[in-house]
Amino acid sequence: MVKRCNELAALLADFVEQQLPPDVHHRLEEHLAACPRCVAQLKTYESTVSLLRTIRDEELPPELRCTLRAFLDRNCRN
């Protein structure tokens, strides 16, 4: 089981994208089955990702585009 709820935040992107090792994914699913607070956080994250995928790059203000790109470069492995 995930030891602390705050560990979930670090795993959300990889969990949603099915990029976690099977054992970690399974432990996270077990934690989610017993933690409504983390389920709510996961649903919020999934909704945010879904919404962001609907926005075209040219619709973003240039400064927001640069900020998001820098964040993704720092935090995403893909």
Structural domain for 36, as ranges? 5-75
Q: Give me the number of domains the chain comprises.
A: 1
Q: Which tens digits make up the pLDDT trace of 29-70?
A: 998 999 998 899 899 888 888 887 888 877 888 888 888 778
pLDDT of residue 2: 52
Tokens of 10: 């670090």
Threshold 0.85, pTM exceeds: no
